[in-house]
Chain A
């Protein structure tokens, strides 16, 4: 489910990741990514040490945001603030591999640190799926059970103990991305990166669950 409820505290480790009222999808995705970084032992210190104000501009559309690090938290708002210490570009499709903008030289170390924070390592597909289910399994319309099949290893994970629901199949990497809220579930089905045995209503609610993790996970 997409929700607009953004009043969740967003605490990850000792870092409080907050967003403005009525945030954009770009802001929510960035906040979720930083929260994921804060759960990683190697990246949490990077976030804690940073005091940068970072502007992020999408290179494919007009979305933009400002990340304000420091004082025990990260604040994410839409638009690039005039007091940004550095402004970087990103392609939202790569979630969020940042690059220097033309004519805006950036210290390589700083860019690498930012890239690390905005591209935290993915958990295993099993851990991601389990977390996905814990966040969405009780939402209205969700199937009572999701059977997740890894196309490479043949491993299978059953989420939920309700009546038989849907079967979702993909590679280990694809499953880890999907259950972590990356990409777009619908597009990944469309491209064949994932396959689903289920109904259209189940597809709808799974798309919503994916967005919930993408924006609030």
Chain B
């Protein structure tokens, strides 16, 4: 029996589709690059594929870079064959009405022989979450999403090469400013209304530090739920921008000014109690979790800063962290520990860019943190000073996509948590990205290039 939701049989799924007057279903999943991919199928096809899954070409789903060129130059995993198939199996608990007549469902990628696809980010996060559950922990996470919205519609942005665009809401550019033009408020109110329709709980939105920049905070939930909501919320923000005649980007930097982040907040519960809480600072478990996260931070950076442009955020004194540091209530460090509250005690990972794949980064942070607990790792001393512009003996985050890929390749904790095959595939694709950038006009000293804008504006 195929369950669409607990207690629903296949025939009840069919009934649900009929009751909601669904004539097509968009089956979707997030690939390694963080792109939401999928196809639209008829209800008949959807019902027939519930058990078997839906075929996607391996190269098209997981083998093309953002410029639509095949990733090459490294040993491919066994599921990458001569353009063979992989399968997307719908997770029917995610089924929802996306718009009148069309449902949406998120799935996981599998190989044709029935194994979880090693490079599927949702499978990786599912494994890590299950591992935590086996150890008696329930994970709670929240994600902050930042993006920049422009007055110009996407077709005009394309014509302009994504340059010289007009940020929506005016040029005020200071955080939390309410004196925005009405079009900015209309955009975010429309986004929020769509999220409500889709039952994606949001907590807050506001303008961020740069002109046209917005921050949207999604409600705390378990990792898989939050990552699914993140993927859908990005889709919503793109669709609403298009509908209102605007454009939006999640590039880590769309110009040489302010960057955009995607901070992740994480805590662990056991038997309904936040085990990161202690009255006088980080609990012992939070300390060991931090020990694991800090040890794997250089490698995690490759996942948290996936693209060439991602590293342009890492500028001292500009907001994003630049050093491998943590501190209590310290937002200049890579990790901010929030302590002393029975409910809110947590870590905030401040490295991920808005262009990162939340499934992957969460899997890496949780995997390394759980390993830290298992090994009772101690983190370096906390920093209560400004963690920017430090002397050269301070450990800095990897500064480039190539340095970060090297760090990830060496990190055995992350390869244990996410799987060697996923790590090797990811590292191969980042090296491809490094080479592509340099062969298309980029260099270590280049300002934001046209190649980056064309490659990342719409898809990162």
Q: In the complex, are the beta carbons of A208 and B438 less than 8 A apart?
A: no
Residues 80-120 of chain B, each 1 if its beta carbon lies under 8 Å from chain A, else 0? 11110000000000000000000000000000000000000
Instruction: Encode contact with B along A1-41: 1 for CB under 8 Å, 0 otherwise.
Output: 11111000000000000000010111000000000000000
C-alpha gap A141/B73 in the complex (Å) = 11
| 0/1 string, A166-203, CB within 8 A of B gives 1 | 00000000000000000000100000000000011101
B434: chain A residues within 8 A (beta carbon): 2, 4
Q: Chain A interface secondary structure, helix, strand, loop or mixed? A: loop
In the complex, what residues of B have CB within 8 A of residue A5's CB?
406
Residues of the B chain whose Cβ atoms lie less than 8 Å from the Cβ of A139 = 75
Asked whether B443 lies within 8 Å of A199 as measured between CB atoms, the reply is no
B385 interfacial contact with A, CB 8 Å: no
Contacting pair A208 B446 (CB below 8 A): no
Check A141–B74 contact: CB distance below 8 A. Answer: yes
**B residues in contact with A26, CB < 8 Å:** 438
Mostly, the B contact residues are loop
- Taking CB atoms, residues of chain A closer than 8 Å to B424 are 140
Inter-subunit contact A201/B444 (CB<8 Å): no
Given the complex of chains A and B, what is the CA–CA distance between A142 and B76 in angstroms? 10
Inter-subunit contact A200/B435 (CB<8 Å) = no
Are B81 and A61 in contact, CB atoms less than 8 angstroms apart?
A: no
Instruction: Determine the residue in chain B with the shortest Cβ distance to A140.
Output: B75
Residues of B within 8 A of A199 (CB): 81-82
Known contacts A25-B435, A25-B438, A63-B438; is A201 also within 8 Å of B76 by CB?
yes
Can you name the residue of chain A whose Cβ is closest to the Cβ of B402? A4
Please name all residues of chain A whose beta carbon is closer than 8 Å to the beta carbon of B399 when the two chains form the complex.
Answer: 22
Q: Is the CB of B439 within 8 A of A61?
A: yes
Q: Which of B50-76 contact A (CB under 8 A)?
A: 59, 71-76
Nearest Cβ in chain A — how far from B349, in angstroms?
24
Which of A1, A4, A25, A186 is packed against the most chain B CB atoms within 10 Å? A4
Do A200 and B405 have beta carbons less than 8 Å apart? Answer: no
Given contacts A4-B402, A4-B405, A201-B81, contact A61 B76 (CB under 8 A): no
A208 with B75: CB separation less than 8 A: yes
Residue ID in chain B nearest A210 by CB atoms: B73
Give CA–CA (A45, B76) in the complex, Å.
43
Taking the nearest CB of chain A, how far is it from the CB of B419, in angstroms? Answer: 15
Q: How far is the CA of A79 from the CA of B446 in the complex (A)?
A: 11
Is A62 touching B74 in the complex (CB atoms < 8 A)? no
Interface residue ranges of B12-28 to A (CB < 8 Å): none
Q: Report the separation of the CA atoms of residues A2 and B74 in the bound assembly, to the nearest whole angstrom.
A: 7
Determine if B441 and A62 form an interchain contact, defined as CB atoms under 8 angstroms apart: yes
* Contact of A4 with B403 at beta-carbon distance under 8 Å, contacts A203-B72, A204-B76 already known: yes
A75 CB to closest chain B CB (Å) equals 16
- Return chain A residues, CB-CB under 8 Å to B81: 199-201
- Whole-angstrom distance between the Cβ of A81 and the nearest chain B Cβ: 12
**Which listed residue, B72, B402, B440, B445, touches A204 by the CB 8 Å rule?**
B72
Query: A77: shortest Cβ distance to chain B, in Å?
Result: 10
Tell me the nearest residue of chain A to B77, going by C-beta. A201
The reply to whether the CB of A149 lies closer than 8 angstroms to some CB of chain B is: no
B443 touches A62 (CB 8 A): yes
Q: Which residues of chain A come closer than 8 Å to B439, judged between CB atoms? A: 25, 61
Chain B 418-460, CB within 8 Å of chain A: the 1/0 string? 0000001000100110110011111111100000000000000
A200–B438 Cα distance when bound, in Å, is: 24
Q: Is the CB of A200 within 8 A of B80?
A: yes
Q: How far is the CB of A165 from chain B (nearest CB, A)?
A: 13
Q: How far in angstroms is the closest Cβ of chain A from B408? A: 11
- Which residue of chain A is the closest to B71 with respect to CB atoms? A204
Contact A1 B444 (CB under 8 A): no
With A4-B402, A204-B76: A62-B82 Cβ-Cβ less than 8 Å = no
Q: How far is the CA of A53 from the CA of B172 in the complex (A)?
A: 48
* Residues of B contacting A205 in the complex (Cβ-Cβ under 8 angstroms): 74-76
The 8 A CB mask of A71-86 against B (1 = contact, 0 = none) is 0000000110000000
Nearest B residue (CB) for A202: B76
Q: Smallest Cβ distance from A188 to chain B, in angstroms?
A: 13
Name the one of B71, B403, B406, B444 contacting A78, with C-beta atoms under 8 angstroms. B444
Taking the complex as formed, is A64 at the interface, i.e. its CB lies under 8 A from any CB of chain B?
Answer: yes
Residues in B neighbouring A111, C-beta threshold 8 A: none
CA distance A64 to B82 in the complex (A): 37
Determine whether B129 belongs to the interface, using a CB cutoff of 8 Å to chain A: no
The smallest beta-carbon distance between B444 and chain A, in angstroms, is: 5
Report B-chain residues with C-beta under 8 Å of the C-beta of A62: 441-443, 446
Residue B309 lies at the interface, judged by CB distance under 8 Å to chain A = no
Give CA–CA (A139, B431) in the complex, Å: 16
Given contacts A4-B405, A4-B406, A25-B438, contact A208 B72 (CB under 8 A): yes
- Which residue in chain B gives the minimum CB-CB distance to A201? B76
Partner of B76, one of A2, A3, A141: A141
**B61 CB → nearest A CB, Å:** 15
B74 contacts A1, CB within 8 Å?
yes
Most buried by B among A26, A186, A201, A207: A201
Residues of A within 8 A of B441 (CB): 61-62
- Cβ contacts under 8 Å, B403 to chain A: 4, 22
- Decide yes or no whether A132 CB sits under 8 A from chain B: no
Chain B residues closer than 8 Å to A69, beta-carbon distance:
none
14 additional A-B pairs beyond A62-B441, A204-B75, A211-B435, beta carbons within 8 Å, are A2-B434, A22-B400, A22-B444, A24-B443, A25-B438, A62-B443, A78-B444, A78-B445, A79-B445, A141-B74, A200-B80, A204-B72, A205-B74, A211-B73
Q: Can you identify 14 A-B contacts, CB atoms within 8 angstroms? A: A2-B74, A3-B431, A22-B444, A61-B441, A62-B442, A62-B443, A64-B443, A141-B74, A200-B59, A200-B76, A201-B80, A203-B72, A207-B73, A208-B74
Which are the 9 A-B pairs with shortest beta-carbon distances? Answer: A141-B75, A208-B73, A201-B76, A140-B75, A2-B431, A204-B72, A4-B402, A207-B72, A207-B73
- Taking beta carbons and an 8 Å cutoff, which residues of A are in contact with B? 1-5, 22, 24-26, 61-64, 78-79, 139-142, 186, 199-201, 203-205, 207-208, 211
